[in-house]
Amino acid sequence: MHTYLRWVAPVLGGLTISCLMISNTARSQTIFFDDFSGSKLDRSKWNVEITGTTNNHEQQAYVDSSSTIYIDNGILVIQPRYTPGFKTPEGKTFDFISGRINTRKKLEFTYGEISAKIRLTEGAGLWPAWWLLGNGSWPDAGEIDIMEYIGESDWASSAVHGPGYSGETPFVNRHYFPGNNDVTHWHIYAVDWTPDSLIFKYDGIPMFRVTRSMVEHYGKWAYDNPEFLVLNFALGGGYPVKINGVKSPYFGLPASTVDAIKKGQCKLMVDWVKVVKKGA
């Protein structure tokens, strides 16, 4: 893309001649934006996932329901619900349902600045996340976790997963918020994705940088292929239990958080989501 600058020539015979000069200044292009201004989720932009099983010993089933995914006054809300004995079509039983949405086959792209304005609620063992995932087998296709939160309100984390550096990845970093501005306030969680680096930014300030050379010390750089957006709200599971050590009443999910879910207090709130491609 180019920026066009107008140049006005000297007046000749009473006529002013104006010309266009082309500069090489790069321009950015917004290729995706959703501010959730409609009455319900825009299905032309988002898919709603339904799961019969879950990963990481998570305690929820993902369903397509207006009770778990809805718009409230211009805010996307993903809210887990306590539903004891809920059975999936495959016959698996869960005591919780929740929501997970993605842009697979609707928005898949390579490189850009990906951001979302998000507010979270406190509760040990909650596991909402904002991330990108590539098509193909995991972790070879690459996973970019812009924001993960496991219920401790003073921090959130970013990470990447790829071949040779997945699961217990060496590429994870926490950002600690000040006490008067923790995750229960609105924050902009973003990543600037280029061919050679991933720079994670919280409220516009870099909090973690992963470079191609860092990754290739462990395995293949898995971020040259298209990826899609994901927003989800998991409960319990492997990541939370490593932090809180809770095994009962649910794996990674203490009774106090179960009570908060029953009262409808646990939510992932999203004001907007944006993807900007940088000009060449």
Question: Which pLDDT score is estimated for 280?
Answer: 61
Question: Which pLDDT score is estimated for 173?
Answer: 98
At which residue do the structure tokens 């909090």 appear? 207
Q: Which residues neighbour 165 within 8 Å (Cβ) at sequence distance 6 or greater? A: 139, 171, 215, 218, 219
Question: Which pLDDT score is estimated for 13?
Answer: 42
Does the pLDDT of residue 9 top 80, yes or no?
no
> In whole numbers, what is the pLDDT of the chain averaged over residues?
91
Does the pLDDT of residue 10 top 70, yes or no?
no
- Rounded to the nearest 10°, the torsion over CA 181, 185, 186, 189 is 60
**CB 92: neighbour CB atoms within 10 A?**
13
Question: Which pLDDT score is estimated for 73?
Answer: 97
Q: What percent of the chain has pLDDT over 70?
A: 90
Does the pLDDT of residue 5 top 60, yes or no?
no
DSSP 200-212: EEETTEEEEEEEH
Query: CATH classification of 28-277 is 2.60.120.200, yes or no?
Result: yes
Q: Which of 186, 180, 174 is nearest to 120 (CA)?
A: 186
Q: Largest alpha-carbon pair distance within the chain?
A: 89
Cα 254 to chain centroid, rounded:
25
What are the pLDDT digits (tens) for 222-236? 999 999 999 999 999
Question: Which pLDDT score is estimated for 90?
Answer: 87
pTM of the model: 0.90
**CB 262: neighbour CB atoms within 10 A?**
11
Does the pLDDT of residue 18 top 80, yes or no?
no
DSSP 45-94: T-EE---SS-STT--EEE---TTTEEEETTEEEE--EEEEEEE-TTS-EE
What are the pLDDT digits (tens) for 166-199? 988 899 999 999 999 999 999 999 999 999 999 9
